[in-house]
């Protein structure tokens, strides 16, 4: 997953939506852990569209 630093408001919605508990916010920087299976729930709940799939 890729996060746009310019768009992200650090609301934490993505962190709470992850069923794998694979998203961490450290010093207002999102980190996707190895448990991330790219299900896309974080993309759907992000109110500002800051998260996209990496290609």
Six-digit token string for 3: 């996060």
Strands, E, within the chain: which ranges? 2-3, 23-26, 29-32, 51-52
Give the C-alpha separation, 25 to 11, whole Å: 10
Please give the chain's pLDDT, 55 residues, in tens: 999 999 999 999 999 999 999 999 988 889 999 999 999 999 999 999 999 998 6
The domains located in the chain, with CATH, are 2-52 (3.30.70.20)
Report how far Cα 14 is from the mean position of its chain's Cα atoms.
Answer: 5
- HSE (side-chain half, CA atoms, 13 Å) at 49: 0
Would you state the pLDDT for residue 44? 97
Report field, pTM of the whole predicted structure over 0.95: no
């Amino acid at each position: 997953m890729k996060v746009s630093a310019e768009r992200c408001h650090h609301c934490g919605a993505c962190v709470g939506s992850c069923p794998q508990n694979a998203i961490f916010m450290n010093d207002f920087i999102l980190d996707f852990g190895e448990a991330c299976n790219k299900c896309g729930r974080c993309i759907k709940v992000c109110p500002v569209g800051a998260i996209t799939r990496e290609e």
